Amino acid sequence: MKIIISPAKTMNVERDIHDIRSLPYFLDETKILMDEIRKLSFDESKALWKCNDKLAMLNFKRFSQMNLEENLTPAVFSYEGLQYKNMGPGVFSDAALEYIEKHLRILSGFYGVLRPFDGVTPYRLEMQAKLGVGEYRDLYEFWGRKIYEFIKRECREEFCGKDKCFTILNLASKEYSRAVEKYIGADCRFVTVDFGQLSGGKVRQKATFAKMARGDMVRFLAEGNITDIEGIKDYDGFGFRFSEEFSRGERMVFVRTD
């Protein structure tokens, strides 16, 4: 089972916790994107990032000085935000860290897909950003099938090349899961988890709680060494409970009441 999650806009440069173990697999593609962004003016970059002047200047300088192979931070420790704070990888046991290294994959508009201990540098580039690259109109076209095929290949290697059905647990936002879901074939079980507030007989998703629960669920899976879909149903963080009533097919719904 592979678990996919979204990155976060906010990043740090903490390098004292753990060493990197590898460089991102699609580093050549990342270099292409870096060079493309470096061609943009400040105003063009700001429009691409959809941020204020202060953040735009920070990231404009980052890209102008960027080195993709030096002074790197393991990906899972580099991202901040609610999802990563509630995951809390900084206090994981060695066993939990090995679990996420094997099972967790972070989707990225800049790097494509990251293993937890891939070395990254701070950047800003959302998957839905309107960045055209050569013949590609946007990042979805630029990455194409690459991200999905990478995950599929990893699963095949774990199966020693055997043509077995594998599972992707989708904890990513729609913006990022879109880069994978459209390529899913019959040999992959793609299970999406939704977190919602139950009110008046209807389930409504609240972004803040969803981000918190996604990170907390990764922690739950890692600490419990859970490798099958059934085990996920026991998650009960933040008052969420698995709902048979609202779950349909490959969509697992966890609800909490007001």
Contact 16, 74 (CB under 8 A): no
Distance CA 93, CA 99 (A): 10
Sort 189 into a burial class: Cβ within 10 Å, 0-12 / 13-18 / 19+.
middle
Q: What is the pLDDT of residue 66?
A: 97
Q: Are strands 119-120 and 166-170 parallel, antiparallel or unpaired?
A: unpaired
22 token code pair: 């590898």
DSSP 176-198: HHHHHHTT--TTEEEEEEEEEEE
247 alpha-carbon distance from chain centroid? 23
142 token code pair: 């630029």
Q: What DSSP state is assigned to residue 155?
A: H
171 token code pair: 């904890």
pLDDT per residue as tens digits for the range 119-130: 999 999 999 999
Contact 245, 234 (CB under 8 A): no
Report, as an integer, the average pLDDT of 5-30.
91
H or E element at residue 242: strand 241-242
pLDDT per residue as tens digits for the range 32-76: 999 999 999 999 999 999 999 999 999 999 999 999 999 999 999
The SS3 of residue 13 is coil
Q: Mean pLDDT score of the chain, rounded to an integer?
A: 95
- Domain extents in the chain: 2-257
pTM: 0.96
Q: Give the other-Cβ count within 10 Å of 25's Cβ.
A: 19
Nearest CA-CA partner of 110 in 211, 197, 32: 32
Q: What is the pLDDT of residue 14?
A: 67
Distance CA 60, CA 128 (A): 19
Contact 246, 203 (CB under 8 A): yes
Longest Cα–Cα distance of the chain, Å, equals 53
Candidate from 10-19, 94-103, 163-172 with smallest mean pLDDT: 10-19
The angle at the Cα of 175, spanning 227 to 173, to the nearest 5 degrees, equals 40
| Beta bridge mates, 204 | 197
Report, as an integer, the average pLDDT of 179-188.
94
Q: What DSSP state is assigned to residue 162?
A: -
